[in-house]
Amino acid sequence: MLDLIQKERENTVAEFRELRRWLEEQKKLLLVRTKKTKNEIVAIRHIGLAKVKEELSSLEDLIQEMEKKHQQPASKLLQDIGSVLEKATLENLGLHRYQCVSEKRHETIQR
């Protein structure tokens, strides 16, 4: 009877060792995946910031152009307003791209 109890105890201990080993492997895998995801998010963020800086510069240029035009006589201003508005569209400024960056970041976090 004691042999049976000892054998059962050894089996239980062996199973727990196996479970601990498996959990450690899972922990390592999850840590690697977390680090990879963090690096992807940082990379996406850097790309996004670079685009924001570039587009901010474009907006500043547009503002300066509009300020110059504001100093013109009204008749000249009305002639130029069409070209200014065309330059100021979201598509031309590239602001529609931020939705794509945001979606990529969301997908990465969801993994």
DSSP sequence for 74-91: HHHHHHHHHHHHHHTSHH
Question: How far from each other are the two terminal CA atoms of the chain, in whole angstroms?
Answer: 51
Distance CA 90, CA 73 (A): 27
- pLDDT at position 104 over 70: no
Residue with the larger pLDDT of the pair 86 and 57: 57
Q: Look up residue 50 and give its two tokens.
A: 């670079």
Minimum mean pLDDT range among 8-12, 40-44, 55-59, 75-79: 75-79
Q: Tell me, yes or no, if the pTM score tops 0.75.
A: no
Distance CA 59, CA 65 (A): 10
Residue type at 39 in one-letter notation:
N
The residue to which tokens 């977390």 are assigned: 34
Residues found in the chain: 111
* Mean of pLDDT over the chain: 83
pLDDT, position 29: 98
CB 109 within 8 A of CB 41: yes
